[in-house]
Amino acid sequence: MKKNIKEILYKFKLYIKRLLFPLWLFPIKLVTYSTYYFLKLVWKIVSWPFRKWSNLGKTILWLFILTYFIFSLLVIFDYLSREYGNFDKIFCGAGVKDKLRSSVVRIIGGYGEGSGFFISPTEVVTNFHVISDEPSPKVVFPDGHFETPEKIVGEKNMDIAVLTLKNSYPDMVYELPTGFSLVSNEPLLSAGYPLGSDVTGDVTIVKGNFIDFRRSRKDVIGYLQTNISLVKGMSGGPLVDQCGAIVGINTQSLAGISFFITASDVKENLVNLTDQEISKIEVDPSKSPEEAVYAFYTYLKARQMEKGYNLLSSKYLEKTNSTEWTNRFTDILDVDVISTEKYEDSIDTVFVKFGTTNWVDGEAEYHYYEGTWETVVEEGIYKMNKSKIIEIEDPDYGWFYE
């Protein structure tokens, strides 16, 4: 054994010596030797199957296995391309659903509800129709707390609205793209809160496929068509690809086919959004007792607690303070003033009916009240002096229209 090893090493040294020396022939030898051994290897491979019948049988078997393996890979690649769109999206799906569950928010208003998501640390985008006619929608977070936007801008025809919050949430931000690259039948995920606050629980994530891109010449935004079935309450939520990148915004659905505003068009048109079409809070507590009571509950609705507190009379303030009074209404999402009218023949007392939507343990609760507020003029405006308000349990249909 040792003799054989020595012989092999000796022959190897001779081969290296013949290859390297003389040095000026080394480049030529390197090319010719490489060509020689390559052709020799090719000849052995080509001639091997024809040396005997058993070799030919083995060759046919291995060619069949190799062909089967190649076609299997092609089928797998075709499936992956249809399932994930592009190959670079195959291994990037980890954590996408978790991010959606922790980042998509509810948008709750007086008559409209939907979903939304952050496009900057303080800005939430949603559909305009979600906050239409609502001057003070609420943004409800996955952990249950909610905030009232400080500013709202939007555009009705584009069906886009952006709500600006006081606090910052950088970990919840989705970056809007400058374009999109989707292939036919590429899987997509849509997230939102179906049926709004009537259904409790986490955000719903629905999977579907991209069908086509639609744009009218008269529209400034385009739409992504998918086979995802959206339901009421999911409007304004995000549409993401398998990697979690935003590609669209939920907007409308019909017979199992849904359309999504292209996220790149949203980004391009953010500078065109204004507050001209946004409902405003317009009240005048100096006008009449009825208007003052309406203003009081409107401020509660808008979470403008300081303004509401300033409508309390000096006598009323003797038994409370700003902090205690504000804490009474921490769970109120919305206040709907049904009616305010002069109470009997009184000149300073108002009969009021109103309802509240309270957010308790992740679920909306509805309460209805009626009663009177006695007002008093202080500092040139009517202020709330004394109340007799009672809760109405399960009011019938006629109560709202009496």
Can you give the CATH number for the domain in which 366 is found? 3.10.450.100
284 domain-assigned? no
Domain that holds residue 148: 96-272
67 domain-assigned? yes
How many Å apart are CA 151 and CA 75, to the nearest integer?
53
My answer on whether 131 and 72 are in the same domain is no
Contact predicate 281/302, CB 8 Å: yes
244, 272, 300 — which closes off a domain? Answer: 272
pLDDT in tens for each of the 402 residues of the chain?
Answer: 666 777 777 777 777 777 677 777 778 877 888 888 888 888 888 888 888 888 888 888 988 999 999 898 888 777 766 666 666 666 676 789 999 999 999 998 766 789 999 999 999 999 999 998 888 999 999 998 999 999 999 999 999 999 999 999 999 999 999 887 888 888 899 999 987 666 677 899 999 999 998 887 777 889 999 998 888 889 999 999 988 999 999 987 766 678 899 999 999 999 999 999 988 889 999 999 999 999 999 999 999 999 999 999 999 999 999 999 999 999 998 999 999 999 998 999 999 999 999 988 888 899 999 999 999 999 999 999 999 999 999 999 889 887
Q: Which of 216, 214, 210 is nearest to 247 (CA)?
A: 210
280 domain-assigned? no
How many Å apart are CA 238 and CA 226, to the nearest integer?
13
Grouping H, G, I as helix, E, B as strand and the rest as coil, residue 71 is helix
My answer on whether 326 and 241 are in the same domain is no
Token pair, residue 150, equals 């400080």
283 domain-assigned? no
Grouping H, G, I as helix, E, B as strand and the rest as coil, residue 212 is strand
My answer on whether 261 and 158 are in the same domain is yes
My answer on whether 211 and 328 are in the same domain is no
36, 56, 84 — which closes off a domain? Answer: 84
My answer on whether 75 and 38 are in the same domain is yes
- The strand order across the sheet containing 113-120 reads 146-147, 138-140, 105-108, 113-120, 123-126, 160-164, 151-155
230, 246, 272 — which closes off a domain? Answer: 272
My answer on whether 23 and 155 are in the same domain is no
**Helix H or strand E encompassing 82:** helix 53-84
The number of domains in the chain is 3
My answer on whether 74 and 163 are in the same domain is no
Task: Give the global pTM.
Answer: 0.76
301 domain-assigned? yes
My answer on whether 80 and 102 are in the same domain is no
Q: Which of 19, 231, 186, 171 is nearest to 88 (CA)?
A: 186
My answer on whether 118 and 65 are in the same domain is no
277 domain-assigned? no
My answer on whether 181 and 256 are in the same domain is yes
My answer on whether 114 and 222 are in the same domain is yes
Token pair, residue 180, equals 């999109």
My answer on whether 117 and 180 are in the same domain is yes
How many Å apart are CA 385 and CA 285, to the nearest integer?
14
